[in-house]
Amino acid sequence: MPLYYLIYTLISDVESYWWPLRRFVPLRHARHIFTACVIAEAIHIGPVLSDTCLPQWMEAAKSFWPLLVSVLVTIFGSFGSYQTALGPNKALKAELKLLGSIYLAAGLFGALWHFFAITQAVRNVDPNTLLNFGRPAIFEGPPHIKATQQTGLFVYFLASYVWAVQAIWDLNRVGRAKIHVFAATLWILLAFVSFGPGASVAGVWYIREHAMSRTSFQQKQRFKKSQFHDGDAVKTGASTSG
């Protein structure tokens, strides 16, 4: 996941990511994101819950399971022709509804898993049970291997937190939102502790997606014109500049 964060950061740094005025996720792809996530997660944790011993190369390949989501979305989207002739406003509402439901489901499952892990720890369950769940056999071995795994887990949490904070900072940087970054870092940290990294990142991305669906810009001249999109229509106002 940290590698995915790095690649996405490089992609979102370019101007074309934030422009044109409205950014769309094609409906034929957006409607399959949740299904693709469920299938990818099943492929990831399915062998863990079974007693089947996987080859070492398959255990290593499971590290790249997040890439399956993009592959499955592309495949499923190629079979559908759901890109109907909707108007821009209706298409935007449909896309935000789909993406919002995906972030809501991801946040809910992330929070439930976080609470489950906490309750198991509070009940004094053998720590090895929690550590072994979701841990492939390739990481079982000497203490230095386990230390490497713990370091990787810490890096994942830290990278997720930095990525969530950067998402808010990016919105301010390009003028899509006006959020106090320091306060946001504290709220995100509180969310990470209370609901876990999965739910927290999903919540931040829910806010980011809706912020990116709104556009506001001003043209500086004698008559200053402002145009913004409120999700239903494009409105224009004019005022005399001093």
Q: Which structure tokens are listed for 116?
A: 């489950």
Residue ranges covered by each domain of the chain: 2-234
Measured CA distances, 119 to 68, 71, 91, 169, 223 (Å): 31, 35, 42, 34, 61
Question: Which pLDDT tens digit goes with each residue over 169-204?
Answer: 888 887 777 888 899 899 999 999 899 888 898 899
- Interacting residues of 111 by C-beta distance below 8 A, sequence separation 6+: 195, 196, 198, 199
Is the pLDDT confidence value at 104 over 50? Answer: yes
pTM of the predicted model, to two decimals? 0.63
Is the pLDDT confidence value at 21 over 60? Answer: no
Q: How far apart are CA 116 and CA 105, in angstroms?
A: 16
Closest to 208 measured CA to CA, from 99, 106, 101: 99
For 129, other C-beta atoms within 10 Å of its C-beta total: 9
Q: Which structure tokens are listed for 135?
A: 């841990």
For 31, other C-beta atoms within 10 Å of its C-beta total: 19
